[in-house]
Structure 1
Amino acid sequence: MVKKFISLVHEERAKKADNPEQTKKFISETANDLYQEVAKVAEEARDCYEKGSTKEFSDEEFKRLMFMDGCFVVYFIHFMVTDDSEQLEMKNDDIYFVESDLFLMENHLPFLVLRTLMSSAYASDDEWREV
């Protein structure tokens, strides 16, 4: 299967400069707090990958990738399950491609990262588990 729209934790993403406006769209004003929570689990998250497969990323780069990609996935899932996909400001084709790409093995994020972000972003465990 070939990626059509997104690439998570991928060499190309690490080399490209992020668009600051896009970054603002995907994270809230509590970004620093969320980043610190992801940073706490980054080493354990790195252990979820095949040994040596993430060595090209420094610890800081890896934390940043986990944070940015995790925020995007949580943001995307939130708007899809709340039936508020208009907020994504994406065409239906693009939404389909993102959904497809999220299931590609090379795009998988450790659940630990997603759980950390969701439990930090939502008021209660019950609230984020509904998502």
Structure 2
Amino acid sequence: MEKANTESSSKDVAYFNNKILEVVDNARSCYVDGSTDKFNDHEFALMMLLDACFIINHIELSTTDTYNKLRTTRHHLGMLALSTTVRDIVLLEDQIPFWLLKLLISLRYDKDEGDELLEMFLNFTLFGEYEQKEE
């Protein structure tokens, strides 16, 4: 398996994939009975990992000061794709269980950084602001 982006994580892809394999039965239970039967555990875990990584990357692009990364992504995907991605994430059309997304984020970041990343993304996406109000 490939090494994850060392700028972002010192763990390799196999590490994250194995963590999903540990909870693969729980992940399958989030879907309609029989809908995941055509995938063996390894295929299903890899599919979940790839989808979750796409979402986590988008969350990072949306909440960090990496304008160059966002500009490059927008150039390659286009504004419509970025807008559609946000809509799909909010509508949960990607079908990634939120607990699985949180698990992967907790494995990738330290607790405070991961919690802050999710909080910023949800606040901005749902309310248009990065900072949580004291009210």
Instruction: Please give the TM-score of this superposition, normalised by the length of structure 1.
Output: 0.69
Counterparts of 1:61-100 in structure 2, within 5 Å, are: 61-88=43-70, 89-91=72-74, 92-100=79-87
Deviation, structure 1 residue 96: 1.0
| Aligned residue number for residue 52 of structure 1 | 34
Find out whether 1:127 has 2:113 as its counterpart: yes
**CA, structure 1 residues 37+53, in 2 after alignment: closer, same or farther (shift >3 Å)?**
same
CA shift, 1:76, in A, is 1.1
Any idea what SS the aligned residue of 2:23 has? helix
Paired residue total: 107
Residue 83 of structure 1 and its aligned partner are, at CA, apart by 4.2
Task: Choose which of 89, 96, 103 in structure 2 pairs with 1:116.
Answer: 103
Q: Which runs of 5+ in 2 are unaligned?
A: 118-135
Asked which structure has the greater CA Rg, the reply is 2
Residues 90 and 40 of structure 1: is their aligned pair in 2 closer, same or farther, counting only changes over 3 Å? Answer: same
Residue 94 of structure 1 deviates from its aligned partner by 2.2
Kept in 1, the 8 Å contact 2:51–2:94? The answer is no
With normalisation by structure 2, the TM-score equals: 0.67
Within 1, Cα distance between the matches of 2:85 and 2:29? 26
RMSD over aligned Cα, in angstroms?
2.3
**Within 2, Cα distance between the matches of 1:105 and 1:96?**
14
- Kindly provide the amino acid, as one letter, of the partner of residue 36 in structure 1: N
Q: Distance in 1 between matches of 2:67 and 2:86?
A: 12
Sort the Cα spacing of 1:42 and 1:86 in 2 relative to 1 into closer, same or farther, 3 A.
farther
